[in-house]
Amino acid sequence: MIERRAVIELRAHERHLQGYAAKFGVEARIGNFIEVIAPGAFASTLAKDRDVLALVDHDRAKVLARTKSGNLKLVEDAQGLAFDISLPKTQAASDILELVTRGDAGGASFAFTVEPSGERWTGQRRELRSVTLHEISIVSSWPAYPNTEVVARTRTPRLNLAKLYLESCK
């Protein structure tokens, strides 16, 4: 079963959206349980060079980018799963860019399946340790994680994926 979760941070810069699709150690109430993502939860997906999509509102008809084409960059760092989306010149991309720039977008989200032995339950608390990432989405309304935040920036973005990648290789 594919599950979806919300994101914490999002920034706009020219025709790029940047932020975190997930942050490690942040608790979220999902239905009747608490969920937290452990560092390294996305490592197997990133190591397999899996084709991951960037969508609008989890809608497969609204593709923003994909890792296979190089227009979606994903990197795990100490905070979580960082992304950089190079937006196409489509109506869906222009609409979501406008929402993010105005501060009207709800955040980001991600869809995943739990890998075998990839979760640990302690009572009503679930820790995601290893998941297969299918897609990330920019969402226009309420994300699953209640403390998500969307910030639009028109200046130089704070997220430097090349630097993060180099640091993760050390």
Its domain, for residue 85, covers 3-168
Tokens of 50: 């899996």
Query: According to DSSP H, which parts of the chain are helical?
Result: 43-47, 91-102, 161-168
Of the ranges 67-76, 78-87, 121-130, 150-159, which one carries the lowest mean pLDDT score? 150-159
pLDDT digits (tens, 9 = 90+) for 77-103: 998 998 889 999 999 999 998 888 888
pTM of the model: 0.79
Domains in the chain: how many in total?
1
Q: Which of 101, 81, 98 is nearest to 72 (CA)?
A: 81
d(CA 89, CA 50): 25
Q: Which of 93, 85, 63, 83 is nearest to 22 (CA)?
A: 83
Residues 6+ apart with CB under 8 A from 147: 8, 26, 28
**Computed from CA positions of residues 42, 78, 147, 160, in that sequence, does the dihedral angle turn out positive or negative?**
negative
pLDDT digits (tens, 9 = 90+) for 105-128: 878 888 999 999 999 999 999 999
